[in-house]
Structure 1
Amino acid sequence: MHVNCIRKHIFAAMQQFDVIIIGGGAAGFFTAINLAEKNASLKIAILERGKEVLSKVRISGGGRCNVTHACFDANELTGYYPRGNKELRGPFHTFATADTVTWFQRHGVLIKKEDDGRMFPQANTSQAVIDCFIRLQQSLRIQLFTGENVLSIQHNADKWQLQTTQHIFAAKEICIATGSSPAMWKLLQQLGHTIVPPVPSLFTFNCKDERIIHLPGVATNVSVHIKDTRLRSSGPLLITHWGMSGPAVLKLSAWGARILHDMNYAFTLIVNWLHDEDAESILQKLKSLKEQQAQRIIIVKSPFTIPNRLWESLVQAASINKQTRWADVSKTQLQQLAQQLCQCSFNIKGKSTFKEEFVTAGGIDLKEIDFKTMRSKVLPSVYFAGEVLNIDAITGGFNFQNAWTGGYIAALAMDESMLI
């Protein structure tokens, strides 16, 4: 076959689009939908390497989809992002929590707020979000391709050419919304982008300690810090079969993602079970209890806000017998008890994934992104949205908010670019 005929044949076999979104997750769908709503004439495709789309949306929030968090101040909102907090300030002034709630409600998904600030679909299921996205994808004629693992990305004659496991695609502009994908990061690195090496974030702590091993399910408000670091956190702590979880621990894991990775997840966690009380003031309260409740058995009832089962364990850890009365407790035992209550030391050895919501710290270096447009500073006509960037947040709906914000801004920018 003549060379020109071969070229024509390849060109004809190529799937041609104006915009291709790589990644069929939250950020990818949100980008495609917003772009299609702004410009119905564009030919848009979503490429997903797996057989199913929106899989992370399905499992998030225990299957309910924690859409966002009830933090409506853009500057305050950035404080929940260990990586990306400075860069997101501008984008959050364009599209943030209130915009997210309005967007979903305008598209038929009513949102409710829970006491801890997390926001979910009123239907209480992630399927409400998935159904909304699929309905819009179909009605807006966005083409969806699954099982399309992108093997190579090349820029030829003002177009991007994508070779997948099944097809060759071409588009004027592409948006990469592949989340924490080592394969995509490798491709982008080959094209000139800098990748901040990924490490786990949002994980629980493994701890086999006699004081808590028989207390799975016990939860209480605490303040915690990691010895010999500046890492501190507060909030609910949940004792589990494998150690410790809950918001206080998850926040520590997010803010300390790189430090704890360098420690090989072996460190000392200091827990103040009484939140912000100090050992000296607690010692004085314990001395008062010794006088005021002299005939009562110490272990029977917690005089503080902590659960009784935890109180019993800490009393025994302070070398106080189960039958000991307040009147009979020694000064040394009171000091040990104050220490257990306010400066309780645990050896952490290892981590566990928080439910199925695996989040990483790492990705495209943020210095290489124009956050007014989510456009690459390195590659022409390439945009990014979601966790493919070196942005991650603590638990509570913040990672999804980053996906919605980035996707919306990328859609705006691509629409404007197409009009030029």
Structure 2
Amino acid sequence: MFDVLIIGGGASGFFAAIHIAENNPNLKIGILEKGKDVLSKVRISGGGRCNVTHAEFDPKELSKNYPRGEKEILGPFHTYCSGDTVGFFSEKGVNLKIEEDGRMFPESNSSQTIIDCFLTEATKLGIKIITQNAVVNLETLPQEKGWKITCVKEIFECKKLLIATGSSPKIWSILKGLGHKIVPPVPSLFTFNTKDSRISNIPGVSTNAKVKVVSKNKVSTKITVPLKSAPKQETLLETEGPVLVTHWGLSGPAILKLSAWGATILNNFDYKFMIVVNWLPDFHEGAIVDYLMQIKEVEAKKTILRTKAVELPRRLWVNLVKASGINETLKWADVTKNQLQLLADQLTNCKIKVDGKSTFKEEFVTAGGVDLKEINFKTYKSKNLQNLYFAGEVINVDAITGGFNFQNAWTSGYIAAQGITSEF
């Protein structure tokens, strides 16, 4: 029998195992991994560099990066935060560096450094790693003596069980059978697919913009009486930040943030919805019209297409001018106020139809999992079942991109380890 068995050979599982072993070297600890290799998500994260954490050292500010779990994870961050993560890896001989956007990577720029660190520590501490052995069923042992774990190859027993499987439909199904409530999983951190002609031919263009997701227009198309005005669409989600034009649509921090905060809403829309982009977030529509009228006076002899009157990538400016119906040869002196109004609309109120999503690089992040109300966040222990703990994305906590999901793994793994060892 194991003293502690951890299901899931990923970031949170290894982090917990190492801290349990350091706290109590006498414990028999095992890690169960269904795949051939452990730490596979660590290997591919951050483009193979591993975005270990984020240089946000204030727990309250850090928690704001979690669309699900912000309130619950604040207390844990006061116990174990980004600075503690930096300290842990430094003690193991792995120094981290901060990039301009706050993301933190190993100085080696290789995720293998993190993997080697974990495997070296696990070997040193006598942690048994069992691979290619998927869990089939979980049962509690009589008289609350622990857990029986039935796998495809063999059966294990343990006194304490930590589940760190990430987004695992099979494990969620087993936990649901044992009485835990599972929040239905939906994708988070994805990019928007669109074939809009205004951006389809300019992949690689990036600019700061304000992006809104608006409610679907539910007004029937079978209208028998004339409408005085078009129905107003409600803003459901809104953010501002860098937007990147890709071959398949839109990406970048602003889009990814919307996908994370709107994970459930956009899933309900079947990823078919409308966004409104203000390519000039410092301007509203009325102000940009006034500004363009001033340009008309100053640049009267120049063509509108070649002037680029605002701070936008030139290719985007050209496409938006053309989308306004302005001729390539039209000069500022000859443009009408109505034409400038149409251009202002393209610049600050650009409606784009989204039709589908794509996974963001290798970031397989899911919203959903074990209901947060059923977890004691002082220990990450189940409130429903004895001798059961959780860590990482198996619970309904997820974050935006930038190292925040890994920080959740480290924090939950550390606190679960403290909770487990306190009971021996």
What TM-score, normalized to structure 2?
0.94
Query: What residue identity is the alignment partner of 2:126?
Result: R
Partner of residue 40 from structure 2, selected from 55, 59, 73: 55
Q: What are the within-5 Å matches in structure 2 for residues 371-390 of structure 1?
A: 371-390=377-396
Q: 1:108 corresponds to which residue?
A: 93
1:154 aligns with 2:139: yes
Q: 1:366 corresponds to which residue?
A: 372
Q: What are the within-5 Å matches in structure 2 for residues 130-169 of structure 1?
A: 130-157=115-142, 158-169=145-156
User: Partners in 2 of 1:347 and 1:321 — Cα distance?
Assistant: 25
Partner of residue 253 from structure 1, selected from 243, 253, 259: 259
Q: Is the 8 A contact 1:21 1:46 kept in 2?
A: yes
Q: Which moved more, 1:225-234 or 1:264-273?
A: 225-234
1:74 aligns with 2:74: no
SS in 2 for 1:76: helix
User: Partners in 1 of 2:290 and 2:322 — Cα distance?
Assistant: 20
Q: Is the 8 A contact 1:301 1:308 kept in 2?
A: no
Count of aligned residue pairs for this structure pair = 403
Query: What residue identity is the alignment partner of 1:333?
Result: Q
Partner of residue 345 from structure 1, selected from 347, 351, 358: 351
SS in 2 for 1:305: coil
Percent identity of equivalent pairs: 57
User: Partners in 2 of 1:159 and 1:84 — Cα distance?
Assistant: 28
Q: 1:319 corresponds to which residue?
A: 325
Query: What residue identity is the alignment partner of 2:107?
Result: Q
SS in 1 for 2:150: strand
1:178 aligns with 2:165: yes
Query: What residue identity is the alignment partner of 1:215?
Result: I
User: Partners in 2 of 1:409 and 1:82 — Cα distance?
Assistant: 21
Partner of residue 123 from structure 1, selected from 96, 108, 123: 108
Q: 2:3 corresponds to which residue?
A: 18
Q: Is the 8 A contact 2:56 2:102 kept in 1?
A: yes
User: Partners in 2 of 1:110 and 1:377 — Cα distance?
Assistant: 37
Q: Deviation per CA, 1:319-374, whole angstroms, max 9, x where unpaired?
A: 11111111111111100111111110000011111112111110000000000000
Query: What residue identity is the alignment partner of 1:276?
Result: D
Q: 1:307 corresponds to which residue?
A: 313
User: Partners in 1 of 2:401 and 2:45 — Cα distance?
Assistant: 10
Q: What RMSD, in angstroms, separates the aligned Cα atoms of the two structures?
A: 0.8
User: Partners in 2 of 1:39 and 1:391 — Cα distance?
Assistant: 28
SS in 1 for 2:422: helix
User: Partners in 2 of 1:221 and 1:127 — Cα distance?
Assistant: 34
What TM-score, normalized to structure 1?
0.95
User: Partners in 2 of 1:390 and 1:337 — Cα distance?
Assistant: 44
User: Partners in 1 of 2:116 and 2:41 — Cα distance?
Assistant: 14
Gaps of 5+ in 2: 215-233
Query: What residue identity is the alignment partner of 1:209?
Result: D
Q: Is the 8 A contact 1:47 1:146 kept in 2?
A: yes
Q: What are the within-5 Å matches in structure 2 for residues 191-270 of structure 1?
A: 191-227=178-214, 228-270=234-276
Q: Deviation per CA, 1:360-398, whole angstroms, max 9, x where unpaired?
A: 110000000000000000110100000000011111110
Q: Is the 8 A contact 1:273 1:342 kept in 2?
A: yes
Q: Is the 8 A contact 2:146 2:161 kept in 1?
A: no
Deviation at 1:303, TM superposition (A): 2.4
Q: Deviation per CA, 1:5-34, whole angstroms, max 9, x where unpaired?
A: xxxxxxxxxxx2100000000010001011
User: Partners in 2 of 1:327 and 1:125 — Cα distance?
Assistant: 56
User: Partners in 2 of 1:53 and 1:405 — Cα distance?
Assistant: 20
SS in 2 for 1:196: strand
User: Partners in 1 of 2:367 and 2:54 — Cα distance?
Assistant: 20
Structure 1 stretches of 4+ with a deviation exceeding 3 A read none
Deviation at 1:302, TM superposition (A): 1.9
Deviation at 1:276, TM superposition (A): 3.2
User: Partners in 2 of 1:39 and 1:182 — Cα distance?
Assistant: 32
Deviation at 1:76, TM superposition (A): 0.9
Query: What residue identity is the alignment partner of 1:308?
Result: R
Q: 1:295 corresponds to which residue?
A: 301
User: Partners in 1 of 2:284 and 2:195 — Cα distance?
Assistant: 26
Q: Is the 8 A contact 2:69 2:396 kept in 1?
A: yes
Query: What residue identity is the alignment partner of 1:414?
Result: I
Partner of residue 36 from structure 1, selected from 21, 41, 45: 21
Deviation at 1:86, TM superposition (A): 0.4
Partner of residue 31 from structure 2, selected from 23, 35, 46: 46
Q: Deviation per CA, 1:211-247, whole angstroms, max 9, x where unpaired?
A: 0000101001111001133301111100011100010
Q: Deviation per CA, 1:390-418, whole angstroms, max 9, x where unpaired?
A: 01111111000000000000001111111
SS in 1 for 2:317: helix
1:357 aligns with 2:357: no
User: Partners in 2 of 1:230 and 1:262 — Cα distance?
Assistant: 13
User: Partners in 1 of 2:112 and 2:162 — Cα distance?
Assistant: 25
User: Partners in 2 of 1:78 and 1:196 — Cα distance?
Assistant: 20
SS in 1 for 2:394: coil
Query: What residue identity is the alignment partner of 2:371?
Result: D
Q: 1:335 corresponds to which residue?
A: 341
SS in 2 for 1:249: helix
Q: 2:231 corresponds to which residue?
A: none
Deviation at 1:297, TM superposition (A): 1.4
Q: Is the 8 A contact 1:223 1:276 kept in 2?
A: no
User: Partners in 1 of 2:149 and 2:252 — Cα distance?
Assistant: 42
